């Protein structure tokens, strides 16, 4: 699956790769990223739901991911697919930032509820992430894009 992200999301993806190896599961990882987005005043949803593999029978519940402007941010699905079905299957699972429920993904994200996106103590985030929190910075290009487009979307207004 080849995805051409808008430049502000591509920059965000590269910043998030710095925390991809954080020793966190989907709940902690989405909390880490969500906290940084809240600090940057970038509106998003932290979602609890189910992910279904459309061709391999994979089903994961509960799972958490982020939704931002019609894109999913998920750096942990591949980990769960690998644990369940092995590396040969997990390589096809989406990883990173990608269009929500695109036919190309072969995985369907089903939202059950929105989990609170709130600010957490930075020392706590650093502790639970083994210091990875300190590596996470939302790029200025991403922040600027959302500031410039806040008039287009009432959810972006701070």
CB distance 71 to 99 below 8 Å: yes
Q: Residues 110, 51: contact at Cβ < 8 Å?
A: yes
pLDDT of residue 52: 95
Report the pLDDT value the prediction gives residue 31, as an integer from 0 to 100.
96
**What is the per-residue pLDDT for 2?**
60
Q: What is the pLDDT along the chain (158 residues), one digit of tens a residue?
A: 567 899 999 999 999 999 999 999 999 999 999 999 999 999 999 999 999 999 889 999 999 999 999 999 999 999 999 999 999 899 989 999 999 977 788 899 999 999 988 899 999 999 999 999 999 999 999 999 999 987 665 544 33
Q: What is the pLDDT of residue 53?
A: 94
CA distance 7 to 12: 8
Shortest CA distance to 19 belongs to which of 61, 66, 69? 66
The pLDDT of residue 150 is: 78
Q: What is the pLDDT of residue 152?
A: 60
Distances (CA, A) of 15 to 19, 26, 30, 104: 8, 18, 14, 24
Burial 30-65 (b: 16+ CB within 10 A, else e): bbbbbbbbbebebbbebbbbebebeeeebebeebbb
**What 3 state SS string does 70-99 have?**
CEEEECCHHHHHHHHHCHHHHCCCCCEEEE
Q: Give the pLDDT score at 158.
A: 36
- pLDDT for 156 equals 42
From 113, 72, 115, 112, select the one nearest 95 (Cα to Cα). 72
pLDDT of the residue at 153: 55
pLDDT of residue 72: 97
- In whole angstroms, what is the distance from residue 28 CA to residue 127 CA? 11
Q: Say what the pLDDT of residue 109 is.
A: 96
């Amino acid at each position: 699956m080849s995805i051409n992200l808008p430049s502000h999301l591509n920059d965000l993806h590269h910043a998030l790769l710095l925390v991809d190896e954080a020793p966190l599961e989907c709940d902690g990882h989405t909390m880490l990223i969500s906290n940084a987005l809240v600090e940057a005043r970038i509106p998003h949803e932290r979602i609890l739901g189910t992910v279904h593999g459309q061709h391999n029978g994979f089903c994961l519940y509960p799972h958490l991911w982020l939704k931002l402007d019609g894109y999913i941010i998920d750096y942990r699905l591949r980990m769960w697919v690998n644990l369940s079905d092995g590396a040969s299957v997990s390589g096809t699972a989406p990883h990173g930032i990608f269009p929500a429920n695109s036919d190309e993904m072969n995985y369907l994200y089903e939202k059950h509820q929105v989990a609170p996106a709130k600010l957490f103590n930075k020392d706590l985030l650093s502790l639970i992430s083994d210091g990875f929190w300190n590596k996470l910075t939302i790029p200025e290009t991403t922040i600027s894009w959302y500031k410039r487009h806040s008039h287009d979307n009432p959810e972006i207004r701070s």
